[in-house]
Amino acid sequence: MSLISPACRDALQHWLDGLGALAGRSENTLAAYRGDVTEFLSFVTLHHSERQGLSALERVTLSDMRAWMAEQRSAGVGSRSLARKLSAVKSFYRWLAEREGFEPTAVLSTRAPKFTKKLPRPLAEDAARAMIETVEIQSTSDWVAARDVAVVTLLYGCGLRISEALSLTGADAPLPDTIRILGKGDKERIVPVLPAARAAVDRYLRLCPHPQSPDAPLFRGVRGGALNPRAIQGVMAKARMQLGLPATATPHAMRHSFATHLLSAGGDLRSIQELLGHASLSTTQTYTAVDTARLMEVYNRAHPKA
């Protein structure tokens, strides 16, 4: 028997439907929200030894919230993950309270655990170039090697997320000077395409054995279907082992490298924010901390009085 009452399950689904339709949340985000809130509602049921309806959820206390957080901690959930789970629960409760007309103070006033915000882990400029060069020699097939280079070059040269690069279709080829990207939350942005990225994609298209059509994915797997992001993750994992780079040298690190290297070269934050598709400038500002950390590292290593 489900630990969640039908009323709670229906309310959760309505909330998620609204986030998907109105707020444009991605499928991955909705799945994470569903898991987090379902886990919380199941805890409330077990904590009170009975399945909870909507009226019971209105009576959740600060003590209940602390008990849930303690249970999460004992299960090994870290501060960052617990803060994310609490954020999902609060968002659901805020919506539910407005819908059902009750006061959600106990839930909304629960403090998230403090944690040190992780800084992006970009690659150094020479390491980013070496990554692209090494990716090319990981495959014995010329067209697969060209494909992998084209994808990784787009990540680094245009600051794309891997999902954005793999969402390109035959209609986008040959790549123009700028491409229109639909990112997280259906936020649209215009991204300039460097000549090196355009040349890499052109070479892949010349070698690709699968026919291109406007509606088909631009990047293909070996059998002709849409390229799975795990293929790029795998080829980069092999390349970083060969280069002796850390495990943080992932496809997303190429996007971080794009932003950090632009900032180091004098790019302004607002422009970088637009290029990355960040909704908030505060998200982009994390790269200033990365750049400062790098400068301090150089200072401490090189200054005679350091």
Point out the residues that are catalytic.
Answer: 161, 184, 252, 255, 278, 287
Exposure pattern of 145-168 as b/e (b: 16+ CB <10 Å)?
bbbbbbbbbbbbbbbbbbebbbbb
Tell me how far apart the alpha carbons of residues 181 and 277 are, in angstroms, rounded to a whole number.
Answer: 9
DSSP state of 122: P
Query: How would you class 257 by CB atoms within 10 Å of its CB: exposed for 0-12, middle for 13-18, buried for 19 or more?
Result: buried
Hey, how many other C-beta atoms are within 10 angstroms of the C-beta on 270? 10
Rounded (10°) angle between helices 251-264 and 142-158? 40
**Which runs of consecutive H residues, i.e. helices, occur in 60-175?**
62-74, 79-100, 105-108, 125-135, 142-158, 162-166
Q: How far is CA 263 from CA 129, 190, 258, 267, in A?
A: 17, 19, 9, 5
